[in-house]
């Protein structure tokens, strides 16, 4: 079954039920966030970095701890360029399938890997995107209890199935709005096309008037708005 057409509908259903997650930024602002899951990868992540640097774009990366341990020099290259870093679990296990002890372990092991590779203190890396976007109210309860910040999405072009660069670009263009959080992948699944995708997507979105910010910027703007 083709997932892409149903994800915007799922987003509209879930967002009002789980308001404590960050699903998007301010819809009155032209700021959007470009995010990448499943890395770092020794080839695809470096290709993404080259495109981001060309356009002077800051993005957000949600990492698997196992990949950070495998490619610490790639992780450091991302961090050194000022991109925002978040957690995606240690090895992409769905959070609802984990016990509380396993859930905390997968997050802390990933924080430890990032600290070793990038010297980022664990308390500085607390944004969490659940693998496959799957969570339960109990999952969120634990995340809040442990002082993590759950990050979701508003634009998911299902690039991990490799439908083709033009299709991914078209899906993003159709779904993007003010405040959108766009999810792409720079890991084993989907990473083959990601640099070519953003090479087309970034100038298109810039020409439309969007500005790229990090996930942390969205949190800061939300804090100001609610203060």
Q: Is 9 a domain residue?
A: no
Q: Is 12 a domain residue?
A: no
Q: Is 73 a domain residue?
A: yes
Buried b (16+ CB within 10 A) or exposed e, 15-50: eeeeeebbbbbeeeebbbbbbbbbbbbeebbbbbbe
Number of domains in the chain: 1
| 80 exposure class (CB count in 10 Å sphere: 0-12, 13-18, 19+) | exposed
- CATH code of the domain in which 31 resides: 3.20.20.370
The residue count for the chain: 227
| pTM greater than 0.85 | yes
List the domain range (segments joined by +) for residue 154: 26-226
Give pLDDT tens digits along the chain (227 positions).
Answer: 455 556 666 666 666 666 678 989 999 999 999 999 999 999 999 999 999 999 999 999 999 999 999 999 999 999 999 999 999 999 999 999 999 999 999 999 999 999 999 999 999 999 999 998 888 889 999 999 999 999 999 999 999 999 999 999 999 999 999 999 999 999 999 999 999 999 999 999 999 999 999 999 999 887 766 65
């Amino acid at each position: 079954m083709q997932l892409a057409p149903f994800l915007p509908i799922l987003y509209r259903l879930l967002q009002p039920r789980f308001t404590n997650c960050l699903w998007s930024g301010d819809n009155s602002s032209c700021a959007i966030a470009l995010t990448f899951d499943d890395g770092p990868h020794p080839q695809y992540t470096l290709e993404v970095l080259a495109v981001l640097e060309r356009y002077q774009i800051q993005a957000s990366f949600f990492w698997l701890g196992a990949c950070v341990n495998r490619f610490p020099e790639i992780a450091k290259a991302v961090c050194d360029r000022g991109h925002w870093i978040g957690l995606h679990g240690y090895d992409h296990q769905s959070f609802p399938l984990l016990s509380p002890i396993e859930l905390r372990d997968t997050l802390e092991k990933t924080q430890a890997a990032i600290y070793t590779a990038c010297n980022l203190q664990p308390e500085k890396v607390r944004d969490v995107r659940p693998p496959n976007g799957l969570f339960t109210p109990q999952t969120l309860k634990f995340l809040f209890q442990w002082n993590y910040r759950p990050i979701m999405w508003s634009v998911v072009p299902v690039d991990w199935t490799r439908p083709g660069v033009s299709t991914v670009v078209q899906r993003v263009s159709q779904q993007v709005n003010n405040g959108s959080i766009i999810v792409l992948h720079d890991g084993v699944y989907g990473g083959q096309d990601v640099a070519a995708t953003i090479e087309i997507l970034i100038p298109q979105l810039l020409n439309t008037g969007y500005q790229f910010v990090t996930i942390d910027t969205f949190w800061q703007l939300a804090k100001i708005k609610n203060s």
